[in-house]
Structure 1
Amino acid sequence: MSLRPGYNLVTDPIESTDAELGALSFFRRVAHDRPVETRVTVTGLETLLYAVADSERETVVDDLHETLRETDSLDGPQVVQFVFDGRLVDADVLSVDVDGDRGTAYLPVGNLFVESPNRVGAAHAFARK
């Protein structure tokens, strides 16, 4: 299985990429329309979303969604590999099931994208935009 152009959501890296960024660094970069490598791995998004209060998580996901939608950093045949420490779960929205100090949480990562992610395998989902 290989990475596809667009957003790849995986629980284990599928391929090595040109760069690896933490989620906060990645979103800061794209929010300011700074260049992003053509093939990039993003880690720690589940940690970032888990740290947000449950009551604020939907707002944060919506803000990140808008950041991805509006950026000029990700034009062309970009490959973004989001690596999650958790389990991909099909629900109304594709989510990542993570355990932390506050218990289990289902993080609605599918809402980050314009297109709902499609499952490619048990540990891989994909969205074009």
Structure 2
Amino acid sequence: MSLNAGYNLVTDRVEDTQEEMPALAFFRRLAGEGSLPPRLTVTGLEDLLYQTDEGELDDAVRELRDVLRESGSFSGPKAIQFVFDGELVDDDIFTVRIERGGEAVYLPIGNLFVEEPNPVGPNHAVARK
């Protein structure tokens, strides 16, 4: 299986890409109008969201969503692979389930995108801006 054009949300790497970066660096590069390689792996988004105060999580997700929407990063066929250390959950809101401190935590990653991520397998979903 290979990456689809768009944002690939995976729990197991689908493909080895030329470049890999942490989520915070990825969003900073997008916000700064930096260029991205055609295929990229982004790690640690679940940690970035988990470390956000619970009362500020919705605002943080909204800000990250705005960065994705305002970026011109998809002017060509690009595939971004977000690798999560958790489980994808396709429910009312598409989430990633992670274990922290012995408890399950659900993070609303589906809210980062205009359209709900589309599952293409149990460990893989694809989203557009």
For the aligned pair, the TM-score class normalised by the smaller chain equals over 0.9
> CA RMSD for the aligned pairs?
1.2
Q: Structure 2 matches for 1:1-129, cutoff 5 A? A: 1-101=1-101, 103-129=103-129
Report Cα offsets for 1:17-68 as digits up to 9, x if no partner.
1200100000000011101111000000000000011111111001000000
Q: Residues 30 and 74 of structure 1 are in contact (CA less than 8 Å); yes or no, is this contact kept in structure 2? A: no
Report Cα offsets for 1:49-95 as digits up to 9, x if no partner.
00011111111001000000001233221100000000001111110
- The code of the aligned residue for 2:26 comes to F
TM-score normalised by length of structure 2: 0.95
CA distance in 1, matches of 2:67, 2:84: 20
Aligned length: 129
Q: What percent identity do the matched residue pairs reach?
A: 53
CA distance in 2, matches of 1:105, 1:111: 16
Contiguous gaps of at least 5 residues in structure 2? none
Contiguous gaps of at least 5 residues in structure 1? none
TM-score normalised by length of structure 1: 0.95
